[in-house]
Amino acid sequence: MENGAVYNETTEPQAKPPHRPFGCTLRHLRGWRLTTKALQAILSLLAVICEEIVEDCIKCGGLYFFEFTSCSAFLLSLLILCVYCTDVYETFGEDKVQRV
């Protein structure tokens, strides 16, 4: 008997993973959570832009604090969107992402 008649393929060929642009997926951040994070990023960017419009101020301490917090909120919300909406979440694993 020939080897081909005795041995048949027992495994199926691996399916290629679906091609996603930039590895984007909405599997981990859906519905109102995605909307809330996107709105947070937009509003914090708007706050940074509005703060930059101010040319003169008498006591600028509060304005600088507002700039720091709005810029930090913008960067952190972008980081959260990038982690949860790309392949980074699967790369690091849920336990490490939750820990950070």
**pLDDT tens digit string along 22-43?**
566 666 677 888 888 889 899 9
- Nearest Cα neighbor of 29 from 80, 84, 74 is 84
Per-residue pLDDT band at 45 (split at 50, 70, 90): very high
Q: What is the mean pLDDT of residues 60-83?
A: 90
**pLDDT attached to residue 46:** 95
Q: Does residue 29 lie in a domain region?
A: yes
Number of structural domains the chain divides into? 1
In the chain, the percentage of residues whose pLDDT exceeds 90 is: 23
Q: Does residue 77 lie in a domain region?
A: yes
Cα–Cα distance for residue pair 3/34, rounded to 1 Å? 55
Q: Does residue 41 lie in a domain region?
A: yes
Cα–Cα distance for residue pair 63/54, rounded to 1 Å? 9
**pLDDT attached to residue 49:** 92
Sequence letter at residue 72: S
Nearest-10 Cα torsion for 59, 61, 66, 71: 120
Q: Does residue 4 lie in a domain region?
A: no
Q: Does residue 18 lie in a domain region?
A: no
Domain that holds residue 76: 25-96
The pLDDT of residue 71 is above 90? yes
pTM (predicted TM-score):
0.67
Q: Does residue 92 lie in a domain region?
A: yes
Q: Does residue 44 lie in a domain region?
A: yes
Helices and strands in the chain: count of H runs, count of E runs: 5, 0
Q: Does residue 17 lie in a domain region?
A: no
Residues 6+ apart with CB under 8 A from 14: none
